[in-house]
Structure 1
Amino acid sequence: MPRAETLALVRRYYDAFNAGDAAGMLDCLTDDIEHRVNEGAHRIGKAKFAEFCSHMGVSYRETLKDMVIFATDDGARAAAEFVVHGTYLQTDPGLPEAKGQTYILPAGGFFDVKDGKISRITTFYNLNDWIAQVSA
């Protein structure tokens, strides 16, 4: 896949994220999507990813800003750096109590792309930074 198409695919994925459009996000993914979050479970498949999106939509309201997206020349891999602007809506088990706290958190994502779709997403953020912000 050409680099420009990979950049557009990742942009479309994040545009859907910012719009709260889980179906649009799922449309960007392979059926066997591998989803890794640095502080969470490893998931395989669209059904597991959809469950994750549903949970996140209840517990958090987030918008990603200051997005910068990179891709390899062959378009097989990509990365994005952004800042999460969020509100903690409902307590996530094992985390501090939610009281509508807001947070601003630098984060990033790494992608594999296969056959015009995202086949792996790995997301990184600093959980201790987030906990400090919502506990303040």
Structure 2
Amino acid sequence: MKDLFQLADSLKDLKEWKKQVDEERKEVSSKIEAVEESLSQVMIEEEMQSFNRGGMMYYLNTKLYASAIPERKEALFSALKEEGYGDLVYETVNANSLAAFVREQVEENEDELPQWLEGLVNTYEKTSLGMRKGK
């Protein structure tokens, strides 16, 4: 029983430490983003593409990001296919939705994967430990 309680205490301490580290990481990431934005602006104002300092080269790098407008996704897919870019279009199933669906199907099929799904999905079970504050 002693090992059980030591492991439980260790798990609790590690989860609290992880939470603290995650919060610190978010704070540092936010500060990095702010300094990068400020440095980029100064470089643009000074018309500098790059410079060296302290053994590091700093340079401006502009990237274009694009995403489908959610309510126009099907129209985008159709347009891409019509223009010969259909290889960019992929059908996907959300992993959590698929897992929930398969779980329902297994429950409705006497704890067995329905035959029509065999060979189409991989399944596995994972046991994890939950934690919450006690009373």
TM-score range, shorter chain: under 0.3
* TM-score, structure 1 as length reference: 0.20
- Whichever structure has more strand as a proportion of its residues is 1
Q: Greater relative contact order: 1 or 2 (C-alpha under 8 angstroms, separation 6 or more)?
A: 1
Whichever of the two has the greater Rg, that structure is 2
